Amino acid sequence: MKNKLFATSVAATAITPVILFFSFLTTQHTFADTVKVDDDGGLQLSITANRRAQSIDKTLASVTVITRKDIENTRTQDIVDLLRQQRGISIARTGGVGSQTSVFIRGTESDHVLVLLDGVRIASATTGFDWSQIPLDQVERIEIVRGPRAALYGSDAIGGVIEITTRKNTRPYLSMTAGKYGTRKVSAGFSDGDEKSRVSLNVSSEKSDGFSATNPDAGQYSYDPDKDAHRKGSLSLSFSRQLTNKTKAGIELFQSNNDIDFDIGSSDVELATVNTYVESNVTDKWSHKLNVSYAKNEVLSTSIFSEFTTGRRELNWQNNIALANSVSLILGANYREESGKTGSISTEEINNKAVYANVNKKKGALNLDLTVRHDKHSQAGNRTTGQVASGYDLSTKTTAYASYGTAFRAPNINDLYYPGFFGSYAGNPNLKPETSKTFEVGLKSRITDNQYLEGSLFHTKISNLISNSGANSQAINIDKATLKGLELGYSGKSNKLSWGADLTLLRTKNDVTKKRLLRRPNHKVTLNLGYDVSEKTRLGMDASFVGSREDFGAKLDDYSLLNLSLNQKLTKRASLGLRLENVTNEDYELAYGYNTPKRGAYLTFSYK
């Protein structure tokens, strides 16, 4: 795995000069540098929602940005726990950190969420995405876009997009954490250079003795009351160079190794990505960016000694053009190919070619946005998706919007070619892609300079859902689903106090069985508070109230969680952080038969 990653890095680096040959004809534009983080609590810029930088109150979609400061203020230990505090997101997990986790946006399936790491697709083409691969210590920013984005990103973005950005351009830092279940974490990083050339490196290591993932409800073949530990090591490296005052290029690498125990075995999971890019201006009104990336996932499980290896190679070329009369244009082309292997069985290669275009016009109080994309998928055939949105400024601080979008998810390698060991759960090369139609209306308002309100109503219809309900549990297209809901978010900041409150009301229905979709609650409320006791001391609280959910053969009760945090500066560069999780020691389940963490404390020492 490591040798192949090194070879891929060399190959990607070798490609860069070829790309630069074309880019030397152009002038500079730095896409990443357009995203500014407001440490004073102001509104953030979204770049994922429309593939260009916009203030989140001007995007015609529901967007949340989580910054590095947000992560450090809450002292949350795990990216999944951070995501489940956000509106529109629900979580199912079969045990502790590292266990199988599903992240649902607006009630869609977990594989209807496109996950990007520094712009690279990172979900495995067979087993999906392992959220435990991403250590929070290496995360600079998370952007959540709710609703379909297939017209810009292609397959998978039915429920939304989650883009994770690793730490760059940061001061040298060291962080050490100890806590419940024998948790030990160490992370460090640095960045060196200037505006012309910069290198950034982050490393982290994590271990936990864990707790028993299952309880007796899991059944006699799954239950084993031992501790299920996990171990993880991660590295991210980036290098950027201003080659001239006209051209910037860079390379970004990430690798994570995760060893996870569960009651009937263990898994060794590896993720590696390489991303090279060049960005520049053709004129002062025309900029472009070219990315060439590679991602590899390996999973080795001892439960039935199964092994999955997938690779994804991708090229994306995007052009941003400013036209007259406040019209902006995005034109792009994308090529992606995926391959997979299960044990000694190799699958056919899947490839996808696409072109996309976005037009945005702002005239007075009216904002119009139109996106069209055409994909030619080697298995799913020709697919055209579109999104149209319109916003109207009711005042200088309030905007109403409406949008309609279509999306699709092409069957992955497992859906198509899984060999069906022991005569079950076999793939089906004749599967059709899953498709969706979504209508949404929303309102965004800066009530005052320090208060922000956002609300949205949505309705989604999904067809051709893939289900393992054919003969011998073969994958077939059978299900249809209807999803509808309301999301409200309110946040604000005063002199010493900051707050946020989110409400999610959701109704899901399998249109074939007329039942609710599994593991998705009908309602969720989250609250968070922060109080600056002094310049050196900050107190925090986050709470969540989650409704009951249906699961396989059971109903999961509603539950409430309360977490507290303390951040204390010791010196100008050193600080202590304390997080108390599940303060009330709530007994709850995210999946039937699987345990969740009890009350626990985590102490972090940080030095910058």
pLDDT in tens, 409-436: 999 888 888 776 655 667 888 899 999 9
C-alpha closest to that of 322 among 286, 289, 290: 286
Amino acid at 475: A
Reply yes or no on whether the pLDDT at 587 is more than 70: yes
436-483 per-position pLDDT tens digit: 999 999 999 999 889 999 999 999 999 999 887 766 678 888 889 999
Return d(Cα 110, Cα 103) in angstroms, integer: 5
Q: Computed over its alpha carbons, how large is the radius of gyration of the chain? A: 23
Print burial letters for 34-62: b (CB count within 10 Å at least 16), e (below 16): ebeeeeebebbbbbbbbbbbbebbbbbbb
At 310-348, the pLDDT tens digits run: 899 999 999 999 998 899 999 999 999 998 887 666 667
pLDDT at 267: 81
Condensed to tens digits (0 to 9), the pLDDT of residues 15-36 reads 433 333 333 333 333 333 333 3
Do residues 240 and 291 touch, judged by C-beta distance below 8 A?
Answer: no
- Dihedral of CA 132/135/136/140: which sign? negative
| Per-residue model confidence (pLDDT) at position 460 | 97
Angle at 12 between CA 7 and CA 17, to 5 degrees: 130
* Dist CA 46 CA 57 (whole Å): 9
Q: Is the model's pLDDT at 196 over the cut of 60? A: yes
CA angle centred on 159, ends 153 and 161, rounded to 5°: 45
- What local confidence, expressed as pLDDT, does residue 28 receive? 32
| pLDDT at 16 (0 to 100) | 38
Nearest to 241 by CA among 204, 284, 182, 200: 200
**How far apart are alpha carbons 235 and 199 in whole angstroms?**
14
Residues 6+ away with beta carbon under 8 Å from 395: none
**If pLDDT is split at 50, 70 and 90, which confidence band does 147 have?**
very high
Q: What 3-state class would DSSP assign to 214?
A: strand
Beta-bridged to residue 93, according to DSSP, are 101
Q: Mean pLDDT over residues 129-146, rounded?
A: 92
Whole-number pLDDT of residue 524: 97
DSSP states along 228-276: EEEEEEEEEEEEEEEEETTEEEEEEEEEEEEEEEETTEEEEEEEEEEEE
Which residue, among 480, 365, 474, 495, has the nearest Cα to 426 in the 3D structure?
Answer: 474
* Confidence at residue 514, expressed as pLDDT on a 0 to 100 scale: 92
User: pLDDT digits over 39-76, tens only?
Assistant: 444 467 888 888 888 888 889 999 999 999 999 999 99
Q: Is 361's pLDDT higher than 70?
A: yes
CA 12 to chain centre: 24
Q: What's the whole-number average pLDDT of the chain?
A: 88
Whether 13 has a pLDDT exceeding 50, the answer reads no
**Residue 564 contacts residue 582 (beta carbons within 8 Å):** no
Q: What is the pLDDT of residue 344?
A: 64
Q: How many CB atoms neighbour CB 548 within 10 A?
A: 14
CA distance 550 to 547: 10
Domains in the chain, CATH or no CATH each: 2-607 (2.40.170.20)
Q: Which pLDDT score is estimated for 528?
A: 96
Give residue 36's pLDDT.
33
Strand order in the sheet with 113-117: 62-67, 139-146, 160-166, 113-117, 120-121
**276-297 confidence digits (pLDDT tens):** 999 998 888 999 999 999 999 9
Report the pLDDT value the prediction gives residue 221, as an integer from 0 to 100. Answer: 67
- Each residue of 363-401: pLDDT tens digit? 999 999 999 999 999 988 999 999 999 999 999 999 999
**Burial category of 171 from C-beta neighbours within 10 Å (exposed 0-12, middle 13-18, buried 19 and up):** exposed
Yes or no: say if 548 and 559 are a contact pair by the CB < 8 Å rule: no
* Residues forming a β-bridge with 405: 387, 438
Q: Which residues contact 71 (CB under 8 A, 6 or more apart)?
A: 82, 136, 139
CA 486 – CA 443 distance, rounded (Å): 12
pLDDT at 348: 74
| Token output for 253 | 């690498």
* H/E segment holding residue 532: strand 523-532
